[in-house]
Structures are given as C-alpha cells and as structure tokens.
Structure 1
C-alpha cells in the first residue's frame, strides 16, 4: 500500500494566496485546480476525496 501524502503546514500568507487564487477563479485553470487541491490537502482531506471533489464533470 502506498504511503499517505499530505502537504506541509502552510503559514497564513501562503493560505491566503491560495484562497485568493481559488476565489478569483480567473487565469489558468491548471493553477486554480492545483491551488484547490493544495488547500484541500492542508485541511487533511484524503487523496481519494480530493480526487472525487476536483474531478472534472462530463458535459
């Protein structure tokens, strides 16, 4: 079984910058999606749940 992976603890400045990227929703979709994934991991969400939440929806 693979080892569990999570991001390191972020300082408040890093967290605020990621929140601005996610809330703004403009710019690169790749940057937006990565920021969202890092924030969810920092909240201790499992990789499986992050994949479920961030998976692009067909349609």
Structure 2
C-alpha cells in the first residue's frame, strides 16, 4: 500500500478572460490605479484596469 499522494508542488487558479480579479473601494481613484498598475507587473498574464463606468458602458480602458 502507498503512503498517500505526497506534498503539493504548486497551486493553480483558472482565470478566464473578462474576469474581474480585484475591486478597490475607499481610496482615491489615482491611488487605486497606481496600486493596480504595480500589481499588474507581478501577474503572469495580460491585465487591464477598468472602472465601474467602463463595465456598465461596455468599453474597457487599458493602462
């Protein structure tokens, strides 16, 4: 008999295109945009910053 499956090597999360990953409230828009811009450089996928108005209007703005 075996002794189990072993230790995990890494985690995976499936993120489909169009999915909102982060929402920020309670800070000025420029502060939120700067924080998200810095976070975008650390993620291994293409991202864009959109506002609630962009989502309701149907068009996205890239940064």
Q: Give the helix-richer structure, 1 or 2.
A: 1
Higher RCO (C-alpha under 8 Å, 6+ residues apart):
1
TM-score above 0.5, yes or no: no
Q: Shorter-chain TM-score category?
A: 0.3 to 0.5
Bigger Rg, which one: 2
The normalised TM-score by structure 1 is 0.36
